């Protein structure tokens, strides 16, 4: 009689004591044991993943991180320091869980980078990506729209990070996201919108939970959400968000707050550097520009990038590992031509870039105008093995180019 009694082969419960009893070839397993086995497997896989993370993740110090960034980005020491500390602390937050459990939970410090166009916001992010052992992606805020409208949902940011992590959820949940052009989703007016602000305030509100930390349903391959689509659940609690934007015109807001146009004596007014008002930026100025207070509160670290002066632009042209001069030399070297520049030519390029007020991006525009004829002709002329860009040659090409007609706004 006892031989006919069906029991769970693991816990010994009889069939009537279980909700479900699953039969195998030589035994049975109950629903309770299935749940328990699942939790054991999940824990073992998690420990294995954490061990691999501890083994593969090199914890660079802030100085080491900054030194690496220095190889690609010239100047902006203050922004580099803040970014280096943020990345270092992000590593430590990740490592804390793998080393020991503690009652003290370290919060992440999301960052806002404010700087004029061409000062190096995106380049800083890309340079960090070269040295990180965590997934990294750059998202563009200009394409984001409020849920239900044509455009990209905010979850598409995590889709990119998920793809950068080779579709590994655990790796995605310890990644870093750089959201570029964050100023383009500013509120269109100072008053809260009573209608839907499709690409402004609505997007900011959608970003709140994403940046602070919550479990988000993410379409694995990106694209719009559909009711029948399978989602991946990603917890954003340990994802570091770095936001960058030019915030064009915010210097006037800062000047107004500091009363730089007021009549009368002011010791503070005399001390202000009116050429670089961004160094005095505060969260209050971001609110005046159009970011909602809830979003500003979730981006506690605020820093600025300085405008590029002549000396910095000159160094940018020749010093970084991927400087423009080195890029052009390599391009010509592929065709078997040894390219060189006169120092006076480099000075001319820098002077024109300052005149056009386009930052480091302006250097590329001017170089292209000077080099286009040489890049067109030399690959066909196999006799020329050396080519030097002289000051006279550069001036002649710029004079004929449409770039020379650019006017300072």
Q: Token digits for 302? A: 């605020």
CATH of the domain at 349: 1.10.8.60
188 confidence band (pLDDT: 50, 70, 90): low
208 and 327 part of one domain: no
Gap between the Cα atoms of 344 and 350, Å rounded: 10
Residue with tokens 């020329």: 384
202 and 243 part of one domain: yes
Mean pLDDT of the chain: 83
Q: Has residue 164 got a pLDDT over 70?
A: yes
276 and 314 part of one domain: no
Q: Return the closest-CA partner of residue 147 out of 236, 237, 210, 189.
A: 210
The answer to which of 233-242, 357-366, 380-389 has the lowest mean pLDDT is 357-366
285 and 242 part of one domain: yes
25 and 66 part of one domain: no
291-325 burial code (b ≥16 CB/10 A, e <16): bbeebbebbeebbbbbbbeeebbbebbeebeebbb
Gap between the Cα atoms of 130 and 136, Å rounded: 9
Comparing 370 with 54, which gets the higher pLDDT? 370
167 and 208 part of one domain: yes
Residue 255 has a pLDDT of: 87
Gap between the Cα atoms of 138 and 142, Å rounded: 12
Could you tell me the CA-to-CA distances from 113 to 278, 328, 373 in Å, in that order? 11, 30, 38
The answer to which of 192-196, 229-233, 353-357, 386-390 has the lowest mean pLDDT is 192-196
- 301-304 and 136-140 as β-strands: parallel, antiparallel, unpaired? unpaired
Which residue among 304, 323, 349 closes a domain?
304
Which residue among 49, 66, 83 closes a domain?
49
Q: Has residue 1 got a pLDDT over 50?
A: no
**What is the reported pTM?**
0.75
Number of compact structural domains in the chain: 3
Please write the tens of the pLDDT for every residue from 346-363: 999 999 988 887 788 889
98 and 152 part of one domain: yes
171 and 31 part of one domain: no
The answer to which of 103-107, 206-210, 261-265 has the lowest mean pLDDT is 261-265
DSSP 171-187: HHTT-EEEEE-GGGG--
Gap between the Cα atoms of 192 and 211, Å rounded: 21
Comparing 337 with 174, which gets the higher pLDDT? 337
Q: Has residue 109 got a pLDDT over 90?
A: no
Q: What is the mean pLDDT of residues 319-340?
A: 93
25 and 99 part of one domain: no
Q: Has residue 408 got a pLDDT over 70?
A: no
Residue 265 has a pLDDT of: 46
Can you tell me whether residue 113 is helix, strand or coil?
strand
Which residue among 263, 279, 304 closes a domain?
304
Contact 79, 208 (CB under 8 A): no
Rg (C-alpha) for the chain, rounded Å, is: 28
Residue 273 has a pLDDT of: 77
| Phi-psi region at 118: left, alpha or beta (left = phi > 0; alpha = psi -120 to 50) | left
Identify the top-confidence range among 145-154, 186-195, 349-358, 372-381. 372-381
Q: Return the closest-CA partner of residue 35 out of 50, 48, 18.
A: 18
Strand ranges for 255-354 from DSSP E? 301-304, 338-341
Q: What share of the chain is helix, strand, coil (3-state, %, to 5)?
A: 50, 10, 35
Q: Return the closest-CA partner of residue 276 out of 236, 300, 312, 241.
A: 312
Greatest Cα-to-Cα distance within the chain, rounded to the nearest angstrom: 107
The torsion defined by the Cα of 100, 103, 107 and 108, in degrees rounded to 10, comes to 10
101 and 237 part of one domain: yes
Q: Domain limits at 21?
A: 2-49
74 and 111 part of one domain: yes
CATH of the domain at 296: 3.40.50.300
297 and 398 part of one domain: no
């Amino acid at each position: 009689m006892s031989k006919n009694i069906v029991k769970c082969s693991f816990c010994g419960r009889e069939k009537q004591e279980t909700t479900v009893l699953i039969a195998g070839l030589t035994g049975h397993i109950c629903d309770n044991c299935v749940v328990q086995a699942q939790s054991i497997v999940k824990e073992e896989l998690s420990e294995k993943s954490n061990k691999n993370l501890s083994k593969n993740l090199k914890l660079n110090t802030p100085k080491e991180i900054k030194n690496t960034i220095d190889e690609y980005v010239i100047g902006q020491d203050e922004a580099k320091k803040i970014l280096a500390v943020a990345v270092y602390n992000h590593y430590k937050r990740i490592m804390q869980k793998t080393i020991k459990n503690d009652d003290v939970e370290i919060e992440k410090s999301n960052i806002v980078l404010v700087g004029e166009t061409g000062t190096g916001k995106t380049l800083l992010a890309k340079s960090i990506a070269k040295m990180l052992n965590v997934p990294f992606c750059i998202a563009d805020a200009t394409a984001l729209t409020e849920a239900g409208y044509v455009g990209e949902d905010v979850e598409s940011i995590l889709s990119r990070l998920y793809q950068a992590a080779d579709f590994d959820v655990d790796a995605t949940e310890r990644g870093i996201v750089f959201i570029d052009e964050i100023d383009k989703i500013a509120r269109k007016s100072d008053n809260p919108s009573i209608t839907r602000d499709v690409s402004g305030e609505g997007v900011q509100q959608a970003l709140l939970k994403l940046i602070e930390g919550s479990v988000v349903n993410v379409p694995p391959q990106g694209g719009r959400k559909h009711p029948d689509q399978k989602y991946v659940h990603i917890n954003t609690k340990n994802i570091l968000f770095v936001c960058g934007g030019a915030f064009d015109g915010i210097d006037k807001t800062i000047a107004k707050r500091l009363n730089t146009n007021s009549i009368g004596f002011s010791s503070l007014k005399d001390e202000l550097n009116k050429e670089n008002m961004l160094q005095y930026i505060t969260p209050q100025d971001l609110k005046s520009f159009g970011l909602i207070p809830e979003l500003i509160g979730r981006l506690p670290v605020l820093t600025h990038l300085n405008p590029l002066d002549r000396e910095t632009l000159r160094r940018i042209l020749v010093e970084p590992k991927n400087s423009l001069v080195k890029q052009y030399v390599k391009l010509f070297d592929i065709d078997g031509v040894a390219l060189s520049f006169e120092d006076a030519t480099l000075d001319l390029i820098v002077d024109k870039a300052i005149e056009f007020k386009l930052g480091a991006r302006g250097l590329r525009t001017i170089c292209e105008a000077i080099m286009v004829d040489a890049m067109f002709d030399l690959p066909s002329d196999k006799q020329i093995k050396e080519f030097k860009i002289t000051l006279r040659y550069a001036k002649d090409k710029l004079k004929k180019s449409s770039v020379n007609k650019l006017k300072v706004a």
